[in-house]
Chains A and B, each alone.
Chain A
Amino acid sequence: DVKVTQSSRYLVKRTGEKVFLECVQDMDHENMFWYRQDPGLGLRLIYFSYDVKMKEKGDIPEGYSVSREKKERFSLILESASTNQTSMYLCASTGPRGPQHFGDGTRLSIL
């Protein structure tokens, strides 16, 4: 089975901090994704990557950046955290066909 691991389930940070969310997958998938999930809004795509060092903006990239230095790892970076970035963050990966596989999610609170 595909395993997607997110580094933290819960994270509390302060306004203005630089925040790193890490995601690792073990299936050699080319494609990796970061979503934000808020009640009533479903999943909104922040960034995705289809190869090492490649990235594409999703629907809501403002205030975020990403890094993909190795195929198995995709990091989401909040450059200067703000309270409106308090949310659930989901990482996913997928091969060339078929479904996405998700991590457990990180519930991030910005105080």
Chain B
Amino acid sequence: AQTVTQSQPEMSVQEAETVTLSCTYDTSESDYYLFWYKQPPSRQMILVIRQEAYKQQNATENRFSVNFQKAAKSFSLKISDSQLGDAAMYFCAYRSPLTGNQFYFGTGTSLTVIP
């Protein structure tokens, strides 16, 4: 089974600064999907950004962008101009098109934004 590792249980960032959350994964597949989810204290998991492995261009959604390094099996999330509302748990997830019904999640990174 694929494994997803988030090595930073907790991170903090000053408001308006930039922070990068790391994620690595282990797979032998060449085609797959990667996602970052945000879970604020209100609890609902919200999709932040997605990346398809066959696309070389890094995905961007407003202040959120990824650094996808396929050879290194790394998928980090960069949050620019951090805001208080960015404080949440962030989960990295992997989806295999071969076993397309299963997702694999990291254990999460808790992000604190300091005013």
Do A40 and B101 touch (CB < 8 A)? no
Question: What total of chain B residues lie within 8 Å of the partner, measured CB to CB?
Answer: 22
Do A99 and B102 touch (CB < 8 A)? no
* A104 and B102 contact, Cβ closer than 8 Å, known pairs A42-B107, A42-B108: no
Query: Which residues of the other chain, B, contact A41 by a CB distance below 8 angstroms?
Result: 107
* A105 and B100 contact, Cβ closer than 8 Å, known pairs A42-B105, A42-B106, A99-B50: no
Partner-contacting stretch, out of A16-24, A43-51, A75-83: A43-51
Query: Which residues of the other chain, B, contact A26 by a CB distance below 8 angstroms?
Result: none
Which residues of chain B in 86-113 are interfacial with respect to chain A, using CB atoms and an 8 Å cutoff?
A: 91, 93, 95, 97, 100-103, 105-108
Within the complex, which residue of B44, B47, B106 is in contact with A99, where a contact is CB–CB below 8 Å? Answer: B47
- The listed residue with most A CB atoms (<10 A of its CB), out of B33, B43, B45, B91, is B45
Do A88 and B101 touch (CB < 8 A)? no
- How far, in angstroms, from A88 to B106 measured CA to CA in the complex? 17
Query: Which residues of the other chain, B, contact A42 by a CB distance below 8 angstroms?
Result: 91, 105-108
Let me know if B35 is at the binding interface, CB within 8 A: yes
| Chain B positions near chain A (C-beta within 8 angstroms) | 9, 33, 35, 37, 43-47, 50, 91, 93, 95, 97, 100-103, 105-108
